Amino acid sequence: MSIYACQKEKMMFLILCFVLLFLVQVGYAKGSEKQSPKLSKHFVLVHGSCHGAWSWYKLMALIRSSGHNVTAIDLAASGINNQQPRDIPSISQYFKPLMNFMTSLPPNKKVVIVGHSLGGLAIARAMETFPEKISASVFISAAMPGPTLNVSTLMKVDLALATTLMRPLYLYTDEDMSKELKLSHKNYGSVSRVFILSNEDKVVTRDLQEWMIERNPPDEVEVIEGSDHMVMMSKPVELFVHFLHIAKKYY
């Protein structure tokens, strides 16, 4: 066989391989499309103090590429929300975008709700109001109040977070937060809860995270080694893997 004929045969073989690979991928994609309505999860991401939905951009890309749904919320006067801090003097107004979104979900829709830092207070409020719409809650280096851990005892967290401001944050009173965050065992306590501990967090220190965990034990604790306070940026892949585990286990 001539060199030309041999090269031609190899080329034809490679083309055939590429065609077969393409057909397999198309068939897999179509199969995935048929299964996705049942298998896909919906993650709702809530940012920390003075940040916004933008802080989740790495996680959002990973979640979407895996075939799941994701919604990142801008709380009031945060991210691209056009309100100003002076316009939202109560923490209930600060939570309103999240509460509106949860209200908009159909009764049979369940989500995995994730709160980072001060966003833990927002998802705690959602857990109390919409427990039937939440399959699991995830607190990432977050303020995690509970039925027996009043938010007033977490003021130390708020003061620490104030050093990381990106947009101005209205500093809500202890009385206002305690009034808004009345959490019950019946509602808040019925939602599966996971705490993700950032090992190298300099804002919400490991001691403070462990203090909250001890006084308000979640169903599960995961540790991300070497992660700082903005774990969604410093360790996005590791965080994403935990998300998939949580969704599969609790959804």
Q: Is the pTM of this model over 0.85?
A: no
Identify the DSSP state of 187. T
| Positions in the chain short of pLDDT 50 | 1-8, 10-11, 13-37, 157-165
Q: What is the pLDDT of residue 168?
A: 53
Q: What is the pLDDT of residue 63?
A: 96
Is 172 buried (19+), middle (13-18) or exposed (0-12) by CB count in 10 A? buried
Neighbouring-strand partners of residue 73: 46
* Interacting residues of 238 by C-beta distance below 8 A, sequence separation 6+: 224, 227, 231
Q: What angle do CA 179, 189, 187 make, to 5 degrees?
A: 65
Report in angstroms the alpha-carbon separations of 50 from 21, 73, 75, 151, 154: 47, 13, 9, 19, 18
Is 232 buried (19+), middle (13-18) or exposed (0-12) by CB count in 10 A? buried
Distance CA 162, CA 74 (A): 18
Average pLDDT for the chain? 82
Residues 228/198, Cβ–Cβ less than 8 Å = yes
Residues 71/43, Cβ–Cβ less than 8 Å = yes
Q: Which of 1, 52, 30, 2 has its CA nearest to residue 168?
A: 52
Residues 193/126, Cβ–Cβ less than 8 Å = no
Q: What is the pLDDT of residue 85?
A: 79
Q: What is the pLDDT of residue 83?
A: 84
Q: What is the pLDDT of residue 151?
A: 85
* pLDDT tens per residue, range 181-215: 999 999 999 999 999 999 899 888 898 899 999 99
Active-site positions read 117, 201, 229
Distance CA 7, CA 27 (A): 30
Q: What is the pLDDT of residue 87?
A: 87
